[in-house]
Chain A
């Protein structure tokens, strides 16, 4: 079975600061990797995903993530955060060919201060 760990549970940043949220997974085979975001009072929505190819993927709202296979990591980054990025961020994986079953990390609550 796969597992996902997110190292930072709570992150507080000032506007314009750079962001990096860690995500590591454990699984014996190939995986698809996702970052989801949940803004206050809203549904979970997809930020970006990685299946194969270029390990640096770009998502919506200026977010990007890099897959480092040797480290089993898929860290989320944004060069300059905005107050509107305040949300909870979830890393998730699904086994390739595994029918889209997602295993989520515990989430990171990001607060961006003005």
Chain B
């Protein structure tokens, strides 16, 4: 089946630095990808929709200057957390819709970000 990968799987960074997380669709093309954030023992929260070749669409309350999204190709979307702070520590998950069924999404394994 279709696979979505994320890199890195976990990252620790110092407060004030930036971190880039990659999301790749490995065996299919994705013009749209979604970025979610999950706090411990809480639900996944949609942060933004990444669109290949155009600007990302952010959900209400998500700072677009802090969470930069670039969808440079049909198989890669990146999320950059800029000037990270400890409160940005979280689990970030991406997903991409299936080519066969747009409403079936394939999820990546997630990236654990810890900001010290």
Contacts and interface: CB of A to CB of B under 8 A. Distances in A.
A22 B46 CA distance: 22
Which of A32, A36, A100, A107 gathers the greatest number of chain B CB atoms within 10 Å?
A: A100
B43 interface: yes
Interface of B: 4, 32, 34, 36, 41-46, 49, 59, 93, 95, 97, 102-109
Interface in A93-114: 94, 99-107
B49 A44 contact: no
B42 A44 contact: no
Given A32-B103, A100-B102, A43 B109 contact: yes
Given A90-B44, A106-B42, A101 B108 contact: no
B49 A49 contact: no
A43 B46 contact: no
Contact of B105 (A51, A100, A103, A107): A100
- Interface extent on A, as a size class? 20 to 34
A43 B4 contact: yes
Contact of B46 (A49, A101, A105): A101
Contact of B49 (A32, A51, A101): A101
B44 A104 contact: yes
A42 to B, nearest CB: 8
B98 to A, nearest CB: 9
B107 A43 contact: yes
Nearest to B104: A46
Given A44-B93, A99-B49, A104 B43 contact: yes
